[in-house]
Structure 1
Amino acid sequence: MNGDAFSFTLNGTHGLALPSGALFLPTEDLLCVSDLHLAKSERMARRRGVMLPPYETRAALDRLAQDIALTKPAAVVALGDSFDDIQASESLDREDRITLARLQEGRRWVWIEGNHDAGSHAHGGEGCDEFTAAGLTFRHIAEPDAAPGEVSGHYHPKYGPPGLGDRRPCFLLDARRLILPAYGTYTGGLDAREPVLRSLFADRALAVLTGGRAVPIPLPAARRRARNA
C-alpha cells in the first residue's frame, strides 16, 4: 500500500486516508469515495447556461480507476452526490458509462443517496440510504448525535493552516467520526473551521490534507461563545 497514505483507527477499524481523497479499509477490502459530482458541467450548462470544460467526469473516473488498481477492493462505497443530479446521471456519454461499468466488474458497488442524487439511477450496483461494515456506518450527511464510527461526506471540507499555502481538500477525523473530502472536480469546499462543520468534532481533531501525500494536521479548537454574549 502507498506509504503516502495516513493510517488511523476509527471505532476499532483500521483505515487509510489516501492522498487522492479516497478511504481504504484493508481488513474489509473496501474503498470509499464521496461527492464525485459526475456530469456537473452538464447540469451547470442545463440549469445556468454556464459552460465549463466537460472533462470532470472523465477525470474523476480516471482517478477512481487508479485507486481501484492500487487497492484492488472487493467493494466500493460511494457516499452520495455521486452525480450532480438525476438528470446528470442520465447524461453520461457512452465512453464514461463503459468505464463505470468496467470499474464495477467483479466487486460489490454501493451507491449511497445524497442530497443531489436522491432517487434511482441506472448505473449498476445497489442503492441505499446507509451502509454498515466493520463497526462503521456510512451515510451522506453527518448526524450530530451519531454513534461512534460514522463515515460521511457532503461538506467538501478544506483546510490550509498558515504557512502551507492554499486550502486543500481534507479528511476530518476524531475518535467518533470521519468526513471525507469531495472526490470530484468542480466541487469547491467549506473551510474546516466553519462552525457548522467544526462543531461536529471534538477539540482534538485532525484535518488530513490531500495532495501528493496525506498530511495530518491538528485542527484549531472550536470557537466558543462567551456566556454573556
Structure 2
Amino acid sequence: MNTLEFSFRSETLHALPSGALYWPAQTLLVVSDLHLGKSARAARFGGAQLPPYETTETLTRLSNDLDSTDARRVICLGDSFDAPTLQTALPDSDLLTLTTLQAGVDWVWIEGNHDPGPVQLGGTHRHSLTVGPLTFRHIAETTPIPGEVSGHYHPKATLSLRGRALTRPCFLFDTTRLILPAYGAFTGGLHSHDPALTRLMSPTAEAILTGPTPCKIPMPGRALLS
C-alpha cells in the first residue's frame, strides 16, 4: 500500500490512500466521518437518492485498512452514522461485517454532531480521547490545542495537474492541529480554501491529498492552486 509518512507533534504518522490515519507506535488506525447509513437516511426522508451499497463500500475499505496495517486499536472520530439510530436500519450483512471488524480490536467511538455514538454497538464511547501527545475529537476547537486530531469538515483540495484540475479529499495539518478527510463513501467535502478551514489552520499548513498515491502540497488558501 502506498502511504505518505509525515511528522506531527514529533510522532510519525501515515496518511493512507483511503483517508485513514495510521499511528504505528500505537498500532492505531483513525478514521473520521464514516456516515454509515447515508443512503438509508436519504431514502427514509426523501433526500437525494444514493447508491445503496455505500455502507458496504465504506466497511470494505475499513476492512482492507485494518488488514494492511494490522492495527489493534481503532478510533472513529465522530459522525460514524449519518443520523442517530441508523445502526438499527443497516442490513444485517453490514452489521455483521462491522461486528466482525471490531472483534479483538480496542474500538473507540467519538461522539459526532450527526450521532451521539452508536451505543447499541460494542466499543468505548467518548467525547474526546487523549493518547500520548495527541487529543482526538470530532470538531476542532476554536482555540488551538496542541496535538488536536479531528474531522467534521470533510476537507478537500484542488491542484492543477498537466492542465487538469484534480480535486481529492485531503488531510490538513500544521504544527498544532490535524484534520482528517471524510472516510465514508459519497460524503462530499469542503474546499480547503473555505474560510471555515483557513480560520483554523496556520499560513504554513499543508494538505495531503488522498488517492492511490497520497501527495503533500501547501494547503490551498484563499484561492485554488493554478
Q: Does 1:115 align with 2:106?
A: no
The answer to whether the 8 A contact 1:33-1:78 is kept is yes
Q: Which residue of 1 aligns with 2:142?
A: 144
- Give 1:80's match in structure 2, choosing from 78, 81, 89: 78
The answer to whether the 8 A contact 2:85-2:118 is kept is no
Unmatched runs of 5 consecutive residues or more in structure 1: 224-229
Alignment of 1:52-201 (within 5 A): 52-163=50-161, 165-201=165-201
How far did 1:49 drift? 4.8
The answer to whether the 8 A contact 2:32-2:78 is kept is yes
Q: Matched residues in 2 for 1:50 and 1:193: separation?
A: 26
Q: Matched residues in 1 for 2:210 and 2:117: separation?
A: 30
Q: Matched residues in 1 for 2:35 and 2:117: separation?
A: 15
Q: Matched residues in 2 for 1:209 and 1:135: separation?
A: 24
How far did 1:41 drift? 0.5
Q: Matched residues in 2 for 1:49 and 1:208: separation?
A: 31
Q: Matched residues in 2 for 1:113 and 1:94: separation?
A: 23
The answer to whether the 8 A contact 1:199-1:222 is kept is no
List structure 1 segments (4+ residues) > 3 angstroms apart after TM superposition: 220-223
Query: TM-score scaled by structure 2?
Result: 0.93
Structure 1 residues 222 and 49 mapped into 2: Cα distance closer, same or farther (>3 Å)? closer
Structure 1 residues 162 and 69 mapped into 2: Cα distance closer, same or farther (>3 Å)? same
Give the number of equivalent residue pairs: 221
Give the alignment's Cα RMSD to 1 decimal: 1.4
Q: Which residue of 2 aligns with 1:215?
A: 215
Aligned-partner SS, 1:7 = strand
Q: Which residue of 2 aligns with 1:38?
A: 36
Aligned residue identity for 1:45: A
How far did 1:123 drift? 1.6
Q: Which residue of 2 aligns with 1:226?
A: none
Identity of aligned residues (%): 49
The answer to whether the 8 A contact 2:111-2:138 is kept is yes
Unmatched runs of 5 consecutive residues or more in structure 2: none
